[in-house]
Structure 1
Amino acid sequence: MKSHNIRTNSVFAVAGMVGVGKSTMTNAVASRLGFQASFENVAKNPYLEKFYTDFERWSFHLQIFFLAERFKEQKRIVENGGGFVQDRSIYEDVGIFAKMHADEGTMDAVDYETYMNLYEAMVMTPYFPHPNALIYLEGSLESILERIEERGRNMELQTPRSYWEEMYRRYEEWINSFTACPVIRLNINDYDLLSNEEDIDQIIEKLAAVMQKETASRK
């Protein structure tokens, strides 16, 4: 099936809280459109496991690592002329994770200022275009926690529920005020990409409709 006139140089980002299925969605959309999938460099992140054992000690290191990796990926996307689906956006790193640690006191104020100065310098370069659309995955907190438990990552299972509750609240606030690009909100209980192949076509149709509406509004 064709890609509903979605431009081949488009860039989409998949956003949402830990456990909502961003990687699965990224793979499905990229495969359906013939795009490249861009994933977080989790396996090679030297700080991730340390972070979950000591937020205050490692939050700055973790966020700097992700910021650098995200920017390198942005550069690669631009140099390849688009045609990518990104697993998580840089906006989440800045607007949720780094800010949450600064607000909660698990990132030093000076470190947070350094982080934001670096981010702001990056967004002023030609390698930092906004995505054409953001696919936002959401659901109830209980549904998301069930998924986190099912995938069984020790570092996540050992994380206090209060941390997930705070992250969930911040994601809701963040997406309600997000304006960097058009947003498609999908409830994780409304589709099953692993069992129903037709679900991805319906999602692509929603994506195409948002893109067409955005194009029309510019004319």
Structure 2
Amino acid sequence: MKSYDIPSNSVFAVAGMVGAGKSTMAHAIAERLGFQESLENVAENPYLERFYDDFERWSFHLQIFFLAERFKEQKHIFESGGGFVQDRSIYEDVGIFAKMHADKGTMEAVDFETYMSLYDAMVMTPYFPHPNALIYLEGPMQTILDRIEERGRDMELQTPRSYWEEMYRRYEQWIDSFTACPVVRLNITDYDLLANEDDIELVIEKIAKTIKKTTS
């Protein structure tokens, strides 16, 4: 197995649309590099199901929950000395989800202002290490929708297609202006980690090249 010059204290965040395969990718990268996984806390989220039933009522609660969870995880990563792969990033919570609800009126302006104040206070602390690279998963809209349908989560299946299309457009705009850390863009149609485990080597090689560029 080929070795790559990737520091053992690196932190990578996997980003992308719902259904893009972030959890699968995060697990594969962590396993290949011997890193720890930082997974999104969905099962213990008390607001997620209610949010899908009523965006306007629960959007602020949901985003505050995610913000708190991600900050706690950032603190844990900092104290552990790195060597982590994160499933989703705190940047998406702000740049995609919270902003989308504020723009569409499903989060009140005063709530969004409170949310952003908390976000700014958290990100400016020494407990917030920016990732060494953001692994961004992208691909055709229909492929994303097919994957959402295949995994069969009721609350996602009941969500209008227009919501996913809006999110997809926002992700495209967001990643083009993202500057918090280096980005490794991966098209989900170019690999299949479930069918071919060796595809992870292509991913790791791209990550290593990105790291080398930023440190040279």
Cα drift, residue 198 of structure 1? 1.5
In the TM superposition, 1:89-104 aligns within 5 A as 89-104=89-104
Per the alignment, residue 134 of structure 1 pairs with 134
Contact 1:3 1:33 in 2 (8 A): no
The DSSP-based 3-state class of the residue aligned with 2:93 is helix
Give yes or no for the alignment of 1:211 onto 2:211. Answer: yes
Shift of 1:89: 0.3
State the number of aligned residues: 216
What corresponds to 1:64 in structure 2?
Answer: 64
Aligned to 1:81: 81
2-structure distance, mates of 1:92, 1:123: 13
Equivalent residues in 2 for 1:176-187 (5 A)? Answer: 176-187=176-187
Cα deviations across residues 18-56 of structure 1 (Å, max 9, x unaligned)? 000000000000000000010010000000000000000
Distance in 2 between the 1:170 and 1:111 partners? Answer: 21
In the superposition, relative to structure 1, how do residues 56 and 88 fare at CA in structure 2: closer, same or farther (>3 Å)? same
**What residue number does 1:46 align with?**
46
Aligned-residue sequence identity (percent) comes to: 80
What residue identity is the alignment partner of 1:15?
Answer: A
Distance 1:118 1:65 in 2: 12
Structure 1 segment 130-169 matched on structure 2, within 5 A: 130-169=130-169
Give the match for residue 30 of structure 1: 30
Query: CA–CA distance in 2 between the matches of 1:197 and 1:58?
Result: 39
Correspondence 1:113 to 2:123? no
Give the superposition deviation at 1:74: 0.1
- Contact 1:14/1:26 (8 A) holds in 2: yes
Question: What is the distance in 2 between the residues matched to 1:36 and 1:204?
Answer: 15
Q: Aligned Cα RMSD in Å?
A: 0.6
1:124 counterpart = 2:124: yes
Normalising by structure 2, we get a TM-score of: 0.99
Q: Is the 8 A contact 1:19 1:144 kept in 2?
A: yes
- Unaligned runs of 5+ residues in structure 1 are none
Residues 115-159 of structure 1, C-alpha deviations (whole Å, 9 max, x = no match): 000000001100111100000000011000000000000000000
1:3 Cα deviation after fit: 4.1
Q: Which residue of 2 aligns with 1:20?
A: 20
**Contact 1:3 1:32 survives alignment (8 Å):** no
The aligned amino acid for 2:81 is G
Give the distance between the partners of 2:209 and 2:77, measured in 1 at CA: 24
Residues 175-215 of structure 1, C-alpha deviations (whole Å, 9 max, x = no match)? 00001111011110100001112210111011000100111
Kept in 2, the 8 Å contact 1:15–1:88? The answer is yes
